Structure 1
């Protein structure tokens, strides 16, 4: 593997950083979340969302008041609206005035998570500090697929909640001559991977609970590049209203990965 030049690495990293900051500053992103509500069979009304919400075997339902309306897939809805069964880690965005109401399923539970552009957390956000990119953190790795994807149960940022992710294989690499291995989960696009990890910087200069690293599709021989300069915070680094997964125990690296995003300035104290 030919090492990237410092100029190329820096330019690409800066583009990545601009995209990250744009996502974090999105008026309906995670910093705009104002509450996390767990649905039950008993109808509930929340102060930052319209209607009375409940769930059951057929999925979440909202019953709107006489003066309330929402947009679902661009269609105005009034009265009662049933969303149907929502798959795990999926969700539906409902528009209510300037707000977006996220209706989703996390850890086997249906949730309602309103997102308001004027949220205090979003208004207070400035930027996320990060290590300057260095070529030494662009590492060659070898991907070894398992015979069958393995369901891996991991804890969540919300106490008592668990997630199950499919792990198709593991990644082996070295840092300063030390052999290391990470369990990889399925990525956002077919064949890509995602790694959740902590390291010796966690709780010191980087967020204590987790960071994530997207991994491109390995080649036919299992070769792939890990660019730890793009190690990113998950939403739980910014808000206690997130249900982020924690890394499996084997992904707690004993070395200091001084690359990628650091602990946010505001963290999740608001």
Structure 2
């Protein structure tokens, strides 16, 4: 396979400058991850059913049906939806897959979403012990050699790709416009890519020879850009990051497709977190084990 030449760097871009740029990027990424209402603040994972039920720490009785999630609030209970106070019965309407809304309650917020075809609740509290004690995620030292040129190969038409999930019983479907091919030590590899959040933005879920050893066993993700009408790109594995499931059992993260299990050791990007939230099964769903944040 013929691939683009090595990425040219400006004369002033030394290894130290590359490392400083990566550190600034990773610090920003960590700030987003540690948001008071982000994934590190999730206190449970609850699957809605047709039977009205109360869930730990949340106001109201919740259920779902063909019209989507519904909450019935008690006389002294309220939620904040789109900035307005809600009382009584509130219907959220049908939710699209991987879509949802975040509503407020006293002490936190709750994500009302659809994952794997099922409606779910995920409460998030800024005082959750795991978030309060989070000190960051270790990563391999920034290494310019892992900023690799690649070629994007487009399919004739996008393909719907079904992948597994971090929780049993569900799967995810993503649109793939093609795959990126690249070389590591002159050996060819390729990764199936999925559409990102904006035009030209793509991402790949992958595992490699470090997975389960020095990096999280189930998955990592790396993003890259491909301009319209171009087939060249750069994959910076230094910016390979963990998905939420590396930190909590309350995530429904997608798993990599089989073809994205790389044989090479990608010694770049984020490593295995030193702590994570373990869930235990309750009548309502998954709740934190006795000591959230333990190994």
Please give the range of the TM-score, normalised by the shorter of the 2 chains.
over 0.9
Q: How far did residue 219 of structure 1 move?
A: 5.5
C-alpha separation in 2, matches of 1:119 and 1:87: 28
Match of 1:49 in 2: 58
**Which position in structure 2 is the counterpart of 1:215?**
224
Summarize the alignment of residues 230-269 of structure 1 with structure 2, pairs less than 5 Å apart. 230-269=239-278
User: C-alpha separation between the residues in 1 aligned to 2:192 and 2:208?
Assistant: 14
Normalized against structure 2, the TM-score is what? 0.89
**TM-score (norm: length of structure 1):** 0.97
- Bigger shift: residues 121-130 or 38-47: 121-130
Q: Is the 8 A contact 2:152 2:226 kept in 1?
A: no
2:200 and 2:228 in contact (8 A); partners too = no
- Asked if residue 186 in structure 1 is aligned to residue 192 in structure 2, the reply is no
Q: Which residue of 2 aligns with 1:119?
A: 128
| Conserved 8 A contact 1:27-1:116 | yes
Stretches of structure 1 lacking an aligned partner (at least 5 in a row): none
SS at match of 2:21: helix
Runs of 4+ in 1 over 3 A off after TM superposition: none
* Cα deviation, residue 154, structure 1: 0.4
Q: Equivalent residue of 2:127, what SS?
A: coil
Match of residue 63 from structure 1: 72
| CA–CA separation in structure 1 for the residues paired with 2:268 and 2:111 | 32
Give the unaligned 5+ runs of structure 2. 1-6, 279-291
Task: Count how many residue pairs are aligned between Structure 1 and Structure 2.
Answer: 270
- SS of alignment partner, residue 45 of structure 1: coil
From 98, 104, 128, the equivalent of 2:137 is: 128
Give, in whole Å, the separation in 2 of the partners of 1:268 and 1:113. Answer: 14
Q: Distance in 2 between matches of 1:114 and 1:234?
A: 18
Superposition deviation, residue 47 in structure 1:
1.4
Aligned residues: CA RMSD = 1.2
- How far apart are the structure 2 equivalents of 1:216 and 1:228? 13
How does 1:26-175 map onto structure 2 within 5 Å?
26-175=35-184
